[in-house]
Structure 1
Amino acid sequence: MQEQSGRERAYVYLRDRVLSEPAFTGTFLNEGELASQIGVSRTPVREALLLLVSEGLIEMVRGRGAYVPPMSGRQIGELMDLRGVLERHAAEKAIDAGNVPIAAMTATLESQEALAAGAAEDHARTFIDLDGTFHQELIDSAGSELLSRTYAGLRARQLRAGLSALFGAPDRKRQVCTEHRAIVDALASGNLAAASAQIDAHLDVTMRILLRG
């Protein structure tokens, strides 16, 4: 039981703290250092790494260990395509059911706007965490547990992509807030076509920044 708990702790730490940081892209991970940082032995760290290998987030290189590969242009495109499919579907379900979480999404957006006045390096992680919350709130409003779990499973990739995009364009935080506001306004109007168009526009801007970088 303790080993399972240690593996879970290691998995969450690696997924949400290490793999999401652009600085680790293209580097090899040290199991011993990670074990010390997390407060577990090397065994649960190794098990967590193997889980992440199975999810395609890291690679094991013979003689070198765990490698964090950069996201390819194809992977970035596939991530944005999948996000678009899931978010447009959630928007349709929420609008049809009259269950669009306008209040929750607006509150999250206002928290982002409060951070947008800072320099790009200030509060970047908090801003991107809020970004994930904003989109997950829309997904969860569809009322599908499988949809919510599927979207949440993209978290590590989204955090890494979001942070990279944040530093890949000047004043990106303010732009994100403007794009999120357009999504909220379209959802509030009940216009699915407009909401879908704003979701696509937001994802397209992010993808172009990432591919340019």
Structure 2
Amino acid sequence: MDTRLSAADRTYAHTKDAILSRRYVGGEILSEGDIAADVGVSRTPVREALLRLEAEGLVRLYPKRGALVVPVSQQEIDDVIETRRLVEGYTAERAAEAGQEARRELVATLTGHLDAMNAHLENDRRAFVLADREFHRAIVTASGNEILIHLYGTLRDRQLRMMEEGTRTAARMRRNIEEHGAILEAIRAGDPAAARTAVRVHMDGAATLLGARR
């Protein structure tokens, strides 16, 4: 962990990573003292970090008891998928509508992320997931809308803890690469309708994987 960060930032990063990676599982009560001991800080930065995580909907604070890791609900799964459909369908369409030079630059960036996904397919699942996330982030970022960019990051954080162990199979990862390729080609061609359709197909797969109802 980056020791240049403040104590509160280090505690926030540690606790959030533990929640997203499910080292802290849904329904678990977290003790301020235990977190403080793990990170090597006092309880004050722990309280600050937990307040930030509560604002993000990841924990619920109970005075004198600790922080409950909010379990993933069916409603949350449905809402995340629905919101990703809206955000990413819109931004992919915007990207395909952009001028030729802007599309060329974005396609170069997306190709790099797609190459990374291919390179890590067999040997580094964590790096594959990061490249996957950065592929989508690049499209959202190209919209220039800071609110959507922040929202995308929040959605992907929430989705990360929804993934059951073993659901991200090699076959599903290869399908992800194919679906990402379809999105890339639609943007390259400057075809907004095809870009939105490619995102819809991709999100249909994510919805099935997570058990979303819409």
TM-score w.r.t. length of structure 2: 0.83
Tell me, yes or no, if the aligned pair for 2:97 and 2:192 is still in contact at 8 Å: no
Instruction: Quote the Cα distance in structure 2 between the aligned partners of 1:39 and 1:125.
Output: 27
Over aligned residues, Cα RMSD in angstroms? 2.3
Instruction: Quote the Cα distance in structure 1 between the aligned partners of 2:7 and 2:149.
Output: 25
Instruction: Quote the Cα distance in structure 1 between the aligned partners of 2:165 and 2:194.
Output: 25
Deviation at 1:103, TM superposition (A): 0.8
In the alignment, structure 1 residue 74 sits paired with structure 2 residue 79: no
Tell me, yes or no, if the aligned pair for 1:91 and 1:192 is still in contact at 8 Å: yes
Alignment match, 2:167: 168
Deviation at 1:97, TM superposition (A): 2.0
> Closer, same or farther in 2 for the Cα pair 1:40/1:115, shift >3 Å?
same
Any idea what the Cα deviations from partners look like across 1:109-148, whole Å, max 9, x if unmatched?
1111111123xxxx33222222221111000111222222
Alignment match, 1:89: 90
Identity across matched positions, percent: 35
TM-score w.r.t. length of structure 1: 0.83
SS of aligned partner of 2:6: helix
Instruction: Quote the Cα distance in structure 1 between the aligned partners of 2:91 and 2:206.
Output: 20
Correspondences of 1:1-213 after superposition (within 5 Å): 5-15=6-16, 17-26=17-26, 27-61=28-62, 64-98=65-99, 99-100=102-103, 101-118=106-123, 123-161=124-162, 164=163, 167-171=166-170, 172-211=172-211
Unaligned runs of 5+ in 2: none
Unaligned runs of 5+ in 1: none
Tell me, yes or no, if the aligned pair for 2:93 and 2:193 is still in contact at 8 Å: no
Tell me, yes or no, if the aligned pair for 2:77 and 2:159 is still in contact at 8 Å: no
SS of aligned partner of 1:67: strand
Q: What number of residue pairs does the alignment pair up?
A: 202
Instruction: Quote the Cα distance in structure 2 between the aligned partners of 1:47 and 1:149.
Output: 21
Tell me, yes or no, if the aligned pair for 2:94 and 2:192 is still in contact at 8 Å: no
